[in-house]
Amino acid sequence: MSQIKITNSKNEPVLYGYFFDGDIRFEFEYYGTEVASMDMEVIYTVKPDDFETFKSAMGIGTAETVEDALNKIAKNKLGDELKSRLLDKSIPNKKFVWMS
């Protein structure tokens, strides 16, 4: 599966979702625009044991595949909702932050 762009209701990119070593990864990057600012990359990793929790938290039925769930989230522009659930851990995940 290639990267899926997940946008919000304003069609702004919020996260990019993809599979990596059997996990789902959601990532985004911010680029500093001023001299004293920095770049930041955040990656949320959801393990296979939490795929059903992920689908349930996003209101997607258990019969759907994870890839179908990601496509549905992208199609319905649920990026803000997904990001909120990752941040509040209602979708269990491991968060990695890199700054430069």
Query: Which element (helix H / strand E) includes 66?
Result: helix 66-75
| Structure confidence at residue 84 as a pLDDT band (50, 70, 90) | very high
Sign of CA dihedral 32, 2, 58, 12: positive
Give per-residue pLDDT as tens, 19-78.
999 999 999 987 777 777 788 899 999 999 999 999 999 999 999 999 999 999 999 999
The more confident residue out of 82 and 32 is 82
pLDDT for 99 = 84
Is 84 exposed, middle or buried (CB count within 10 Å of its CB: 0-12, 13-18, 19+)? middle
pLDDT for 8 = 94
95 closest CA partner among 26, 35, 30, 34: 26
| Structure confidence at residue 1 as a pLDDT band (50, 70, 90) | low
d(CA 35, CA 21): 37
